[in-house]
């Protein structure tokens, strides 16, 4: 194959994927999309914590990063069931799966994950600094937590895609996905929280857990979509 046609193929593939990305982003911000659901859930959890824990400002500041991370993790899981189910219900999923011979299904899934992350999870990361103020966190801690969320939450989406693909045919699969996915997200949570603490508590390191978190995201960016594509190809009925 000559260089020109290969370039043409690549240009076409990137155009295809851009179209898919833009469609999913549009869907998430239009009426009925999940963009705000997660943020509102996130806000509700963080806003109630100070009432439950009590007015101990030092305690709030100390548990702040962990609470932000846990709330963000749960808010991420909330919208995952719609990742493929919406496409399955209207028949689009069949056509996405049939496109496998033109562009790998795993790539399609990766792009859908990125769009889901951009549409539903990125707003959480943006809201996190504001909610950090509720937890009486210091600016350094807020910045570190937002940064670790930015780097770590894609990993949750990638794992979640595999869970969503397995449960795509099940009605009310949302809870099942959460149960399937939650144990796998624990490493992400652990390294995310320890990096956030590392930035404020002096003897603890920041860089090592942060780099492991980044590595987890990169690793799962490959593994998650491949697993999800496999499940989707064998799950059609």
Partner 1 sequence: MRLIAENLGGERGGETVFSGIGFVLEKGEALVVTGPNGAGKSTLLRVIAGLLPVAEGRVRIEGGGEDFPSIASACHYLGHQNAMKTVLSVTENLRFWRDFSGEPLLSVEEALEAVGLGGIGHLPFGYLSTGQRRRASIAKLLVSRRPLWLLDEPTAGLDKASEARFGGVMTDHCRQGGIIIAATHLPLGLDGAKALVMGETV
**Burial category of 209 from C-beta neighbours within 10 Å (exposed 0-12, middle 13-18, buried 19 and up):** buried
Segment interacting with partner 1, rule: CB under 8 A, options 89-97, 132-140, 169-177, 206-214: 89-97
| 218 lies in the binding site for partner 1 (CB under 8 A) | no
Segment interacting with partner 1, rule: CB under 8 A, options 18-26, 154-162, 176-184, 215-223: 18-26
**Residues 160-170, buried b or exposed e (16+ Cβ, 10 A)?**
bbbbbbbbbee
| 54 lies in the binding site for partner 1 (CB under 8 A) | no
Structure tokens at 54: 């009590």
| 110 lies in the binding site for partner 1 (CB under 8 A) | no
Q: Report DSSP letters for 163-187, one per residue.
A: HHHHTTTSTT-HHHHHHHHHHHHHH
Least Cβ distance, residue 20 to partner 1 (angstroms): 6
| 3 lies in the binding site for partner 1 (CB under 8 A) | no
Least Cβ distance, residue 91 to partner 1 (angstroms): 3
Provide the 3-class DSSP secondary structure of residue 102: coil
| 100 lies in the binding site for partner 1 (CB under 8 A) | yes
Q: Which of 7, 36, 53, 102 binds partner 1 (CB under 8 A)?
A: 102
Structure tokens at 53: 């824990």
Which residues, other chains included, contact 42 with Cβ-Cβ below 8 Å and sequence gap of 6+?
A: 71, 72, 75, 124, 127, 128, 131
- The footprint of partner 1 (CB under 8 A) covers 12, 15-16, 18-20, 23, 26-27, 30-33, 89-92, 94-102, 236-237
């Amino acid at each position: 194959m000559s260089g020109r046609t290969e370039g043409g193929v690549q240009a076409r593939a990137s155009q295809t994927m851009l179209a898919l990305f833009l469609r999913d982003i549009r869907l998430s911000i239009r009426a009925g999309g999940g963009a705000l659901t997660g943020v509102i859930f996130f806000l509700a959890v963080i806003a109630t914590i100070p009432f439950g824990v009590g007015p101990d400002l030092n305690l709030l500041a100390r548990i702040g990063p962990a609470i932000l991370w846990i709330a963000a993790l749960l808010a991420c899981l909330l919208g995952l069931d719609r990742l493929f189910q919406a496409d399955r219900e209207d028949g689009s999923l069949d056509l996405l799966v049939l496109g496998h011979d033109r562009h790998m299904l795993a790539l399609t899934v990766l792009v859908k994950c990125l769009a889901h992350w951009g549409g539903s999870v990125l707003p959480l990361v943006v809201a996190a600094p504001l909610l950090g103020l509720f937890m009486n966190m210091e600016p350094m801690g807020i910045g570190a937590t937002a940064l670790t969320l930015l780097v770590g939450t894609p990993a949750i989406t990638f794992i979640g895609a595999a869970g969503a693909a397995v449960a795509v045919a099940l009605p009310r699969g949302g809870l099942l996905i959460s149960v399937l996915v939650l144990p796998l997200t624990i490493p992400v949570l652990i390294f995310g929280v320890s990096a956030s603490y590392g930035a404020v508590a002096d003897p603890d390191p920041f860089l090592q857990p942060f780099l492991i978190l980044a590595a987890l995201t990169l690793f799962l960016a490959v593994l998650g979509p491949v697993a999800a594509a496999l499940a989707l190809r064998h799950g059609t009925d």
